[in-house]
């Protein structure tokens, strides 16, 4: 008797769902159409050292600054980095504006945001550090 009761409890929701799905199919279709695709999720661990070295080398080999920042953004878009790795990429840029642009972009891909202050040392202008801090505070 106990087993029958458990089976009813386990399978009753399935049968009621199937019945609800057949009677309200238009509503279900509308609801599922409104659900947007989830964007990528960041990994909870940083990439391994070999992959990071390969990415950094590809960025460094890019000849002009504009192409370099575009390449850097593209290569780390679906990865998680630690602050020290972001700093290692930032030193590849000469332009203060590109450094700031990449530092802002990379912040969202940083696993250890509490250590993000280490990237401040790559900036030559105090204003860049202030702008980055303002950006981080507004996140």
Residue 44 lies in a domain: no
**pTM of the predicted protein model:** 0.68
Residue 69 lies in a domain: yes
User: From CA 53, how far away is CA 61, in angstroms rounded?
Assistant: 12
Q: Which pLDDT band holds residue 36 (cuts at 50, 70, 90)?
A: very low
Residue 89 lies in a domain: yes
Residue 120 lies in a domain: yes
Read off the DSSP letter of residue 39.
-
Mean pLDDT of 17-31: 40
Q: Is the per-residue pLDDT at 87 higher than 90?
A: yes
Residue 16 lies in a domain: no
Q: What is the mean pLDDT of the chain?
A: 77
Give me the domain span that covers residue 104.
49-137
Q: Which pLDDT band holds residue 88 (cuts at 50, 70, 90)?
A: very high
Instruction: Give the count of domains, the chain.
Output: 1
Residue 116 near residue 83 (C-beta atoms within 8 A): yes
The reported pLDDT for the residue numbered 128 is: 96
The reported pLDDT for the residue numbered 42 is: 53
Percentage of residues of the chain with pLDDT beyond 90: 63
The reported pLDDT for the residue numbered 47 is: 84
Residue 2 lies in a domain: no
Return phi, psi of residue 91, to 5°. Answer: -70, -10
**Better pLDDT: 41 or 30:** 41
Residue 65 lies in a domain: yes
Residue 60 lies in a domain: yes
102: left (phi over 0), alpha (psi -120 to 50) or beta: alpha
Q: Is the per-residue pLDDT at 22 higher than 70?
A: no
Geometric angle at alpha carbon 130, from 95 and 120, rounded to 5°: 60
Mean pLDDT of 2-9: 43
Residue 136 near residue 107 (C-beta atoms within 8 A): yes
């Amino acid at each position: 008797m106990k087993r029958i009761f458990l089976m009813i409890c386990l399978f009753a929701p399935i049968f009621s769902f199937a019945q609800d799905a057949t009677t309200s199919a238009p509503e279900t279709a509308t609801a599922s159409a409104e659900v947007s695709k989830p964007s990528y999720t960041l990994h909870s661990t940083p990439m391994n050292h070999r992959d990071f070295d390969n990415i950094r080398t590809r960025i460094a080999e890019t000849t002009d600054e504009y192409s370099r920042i575009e390449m850097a953004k593209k290569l780390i878009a679906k990865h998680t980095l630690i602050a020290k790795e972001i700093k290692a990429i930032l030193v590849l840029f000469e332009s203060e504006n590109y450094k700031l642009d990449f530092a802002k972009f990379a912040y969202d891909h940083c696993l250890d945001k509490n250590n993000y202050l280490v990237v401040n040392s790559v900036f030559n202008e105090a204003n860049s550090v202030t702008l980055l801090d303002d950006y981080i505070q507004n996140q």
